[in-house]
Amino acid sequence: MSTIAEFYSRNLANEVAKGMTQKAATGGTVGRAPIGYLNVHKRDELGRDIPTVIPDPDRAALVRWAFEAYATGNYSTSMLHGELVDRGLTTVPTPKRPAKAPGLSTIQQMLSNPYYKGDVIFRGARYDGLHEPLVSAELWYRVQNVLTAHQVSGEKTQTHEHYLKGSVYCGDCGSRLMVTHAKNGKGIVYPYFICAGRHSKRTNCVRQAMPIEHIERQVEDYYRRVQIPEHIVTALRHMLVRQFDDLHAANKAERHTHAVERDRLRDERRSLLHAHHAGAVPLDLLKEEQDGIARRLAFLDAQIDAGQIEYDQAKAHLEDCLALAGDMHAIYMSIDDSLRRICNQAFFERIHVYEIENADRVEAEPGEPFDTLLDPAIHAAALAYEASAAAGEDVIPADVAC
């Protein structure tokens, strides 16, 4: 009897799992809908009870606001949580549990849940849901970018947020700069950056507080200073494309060598098979030789196929980066705070704020590949290459690791 019960239980579990998978595949919601939605029952035209999901009239608007607010980059999840609680967001009451303020983890999960843009995720697979999306896909992805930016910048959910946090560092001691708010006697609040090393007494830094608005202007000015002039962008493009073409030509010769070896191995494999059928090669030796040939052929096929793909992708990536580097100041000045955070992290590893002759000055460590594209030595090499090419000289471009 125990064996029969075990079989029945296992079979029932399989049937339930199949039913849940089928429901998700047709766009249905598996389990309880997240905050902002209600699980309800409706009757169809035949009088059958149909479970469905509708936007919660008491909570859906607050959820939409939460996504819109977080997408600006001006909120941490803890700040957003506090604001939502103040606005009256609560969990859905049940017969056993009264409504209460949601926890911080609920808000964090909400922001990353693709259900709100209309997707149903079940066992790792994504399906188009039948429920009404509360936010657009574009807004949802903007929120994911902000979430990623907060994680990359090493920010925790602290009281004061700013798009430069996590990117700016003290030029004196190398510590991260943090935000503080000072209030004067009239109650006016002034935001400042302060050195985290000095604040925690981890370093001997004596750097004074820096007005945030002043540092914002310094960073904007730094983008203007390092933006690559159009004539240098053109010279870089010519030099780097020539280098890419030379590398591609060398790679093409290597691919030809691989193709010759591949054809030889295929002939060898056919010969082995013929020899086996003729009784000259035993089965165990045939299998051993075929396995070795198959592994080598797989490697050669991958190398041959990857060569052209990598070349095309690398050239497209180079063109994108050159376009960004040649217009970085205008781009930075035209975007909102949440995108400025992402922009800083895309261009720079760190932005250092130095005090030079009682004045703040910003210098940055560019990340790849902008560390190469923004290098004055590379600019000089590109201009020299351009001048030689204009004079009709066949020059070899500088070796640039880009």
| Res. 12 pLDDT band, cuts 50 70 90 | very low
The answer to whether the pTM exceeds 0.75 is no
Give the pLDDT of residue 169: 95
Give the pLDDT of residue 7: 44
Q: What is the tens place of the pLDDT at every residue in 260-314?
A: 888 888 888 888 888 878 888 787 887 788 778 878 877 777 666 655 556 667 7
Give the pLDDT of residue 10: 52
Fill in the amino acid letter for 110.
Answer: M
Helical H segments across 335-395, by residue range: 337-347, 370-373, 376-390
What crossing angle do the helices spanning 104-112 and 77-86 adopt, rounded to 10°?
Answer: 110
**Which residues are CB-contacts of 252 (< 8 A; sequence separation ≥ 6)?**
307
Long-range contacts of 198-202 (CB under 8 A, 24+ apart): 198/170, 198/173, 202/175
Mean pLDDT (whole number) for 76-85: 88
Mean pLDDT (whole number) for 22-41: 80
Fill in the amino acid letter for 385.
Answer: Y
Give the pLDDT of residue 400: 54
Mean pLDDT (whole number) for 134-154: 81
What's the whole-number average pLDDT of the chain? 82
Give the pLDDT of residue 173: 93
Q: What is the tens place of the pLDDT at every residue in 184-194?
A: 777 787 889 99
Structure tokens belonging to residue 315: 């050239």
Give the pLDDT of residue 1: 47
Closest-CA residue to 238 (of 383, 368, 393) = 383
362 vs 341: CA distance, rounded Å: 16
